Amino acid sequence: MSTLEELRARLCTSVLSDCLDAAGHRNQAMQARIRPLDDALVLCGRARTGLYAEVYDAPAGENPYELEIRLIDDLKPGEVPVFSCGSSGRIAPWGELLSTSARARGAAGVVMDGLTRDVRAIREMKFPVFAGGIGPLDSKGRGKVVAIDVPVEVAGARVVPGDLVFGDVDGVVVVPRAIEEQVIAAALAKLSGENATREALARGDKLAEVFKRHGIL
């Protein structure tokens, strides 16, 4: 089987999404509000999950980042922290310093449905960050990780620790472990088929005929 790096170079979210659909897994794409900070970067790695709760207080003496820090410090090469933050827009888990630390551990990128900041520095690092928005707020007193390495939902897609997470300019898809091999094989096959379709369409063949011939759209 291919390495994560090979998959990152060859696959794309749209074809993965079609193959997940074909396998009967139809809720594997995150909602369109999740966007890359840098459209040119591709993310491919294994999910490590963190679940945020909204909080309204930061008690003195408590480390508000405790579980988040534990997750980052435990990252292995090729892993991707994936944070479930809800849709309040109040939780902003990510920034330059966490990007620096995650990259130092070999993380392949990060995904969250919350906000991120320090966008200029992160773009310069070429570190793949996919987020639900951009904002300067810190999470302290607004959100807190209450569980790590548990199943979560992020922007409508279920993410289980160990799932393959793939992101590019078209968005983010999650490939469950159990069907990973089958979906990747189907995706690589479909990518070849698309070339013939594209060429036929580019020279002006009718879509109806090309679709009949190749079954790809």
The answer to whether 50 touches 84, Cβ cutoff 8 Å, is: yes
Q: Is 130 exposed, middle or buried (CB count within 10 Å of its CB: 0-12, 13-18, 19+)?
A: buried
CA 133 to chain centre: 14
> What is the smallest separation between the CB atom of 3 and a second copy, expressed in angstroms?
22
Candidate residues 25, 50, 82, 84; the one interacting with a second copy per rule CB under 8 A:
84
For the bound state, the minimum distance from the C-beta of residue 181 to a second copy, rounded and expressed in Å, comes to 20
CA contacts within 13 A on the Cβ side of 147: 9
Site for a second copy in 182-201 (CB under 8 A): 194, 197-198, 201
The whole-angstrom separation of Cα 172 and Cα 14 is 9
Residue 17 makes contact with a second copy by CB under 8 A: yes
Q: Which is nearer to a second copy, 2 or 103 (CB)?
A: 103
Which residues lie closer than 8 Å to 124 by C-beta, 6 or more apart? Answer: none
Contact set for a second copy, span 36-65 (CB under 8 A): 39, 51-57, 59, 63, 65
Query: Site residues for a second copy, window 91-150 (CB under 8 A)?
Result: 95-98, 100-101, 104-105, 115, 117-120, 133-138, 140-141, 146-147, 150
From the list 7, 30, 49, 14, the residue with the least C-alpha distance to 131 is: 30
Q: Are strands 43-54 and 79-84 parallel, antiparallel or unpaired?
A: parallel
Among 23, 179, 188, 216, binds a second copy (CB under 8 A): 216
CB of 128 to a second copy, least distance (A): 15
Nearer to a second copy, 36 or 45 (CB): 36
- Smallest distance from the beta carbon of 173 to a second copy, in angstroms? 6
Q: Per-residue x/- mask for a second copy, residues 18 to 37, rule CB under 8 A? A: x--x----x--x-xxx-x--
Is there a contact between 130 and 35 (Cβ–Cβ < 8 Å)? yes
